[in-house]
Structure 1
């Protein structure tokens, strides 16, 4: 994981934001993080059996949070990753950049938190 000490705006004046979406069979989680991996905001929903409706509702919830926060408006989403049972569908709906299994997501997260651990 890249560690950055200072926030640096891009040419468009915005800071880097990264969106992660996990849409499974029961719940949906949306997280917006900065370049340092800090959580900026999140949305949690019950899936109710429709990943398409869940993706739309989650994105609307995220949009509302951004519109209501001047701090969040300083960020531009530069990349979006998806995981969960509906990862490919969600990637297509939101225009995501990559879709990975939860096993890969867990491994990457563990490696970033505990770099000396090997499995």
Structure 2
């Protein structure tokens, strides 16, 4: 094939151990960024995550995020994103403490996440 990144992507896409729920979870920017955050920190509170993601998402729009932006993202995390990440087995979540924890991920999922992170920013 072409370059190393394309070869790695081809290998990842042929990996049958990755199910559709993983790809669905990764189709959303807030969910990908949540997983990238958990690659860095093994656990994070929902409030801290909302702070991190709000800054990260709105920095790409070259504008300051507002309190309303953060609250909207926090509501979306609670309503849909955390549910999808849990369903796909990519996060553990304690709703009483509002704490997200990175579970033990398969080598295939870990490889896919690192590939996605690297290629999201062209590092």
Point out which structure has higher relative CO (alpha carbons under 8 A, 6+ apart). Answer: 2
Structure having the larger proportion of residues in helix: 2
Structure having the larger proportion of residues in strand: 1
Normalising to structure 1: TM-score of the pair? 0.29
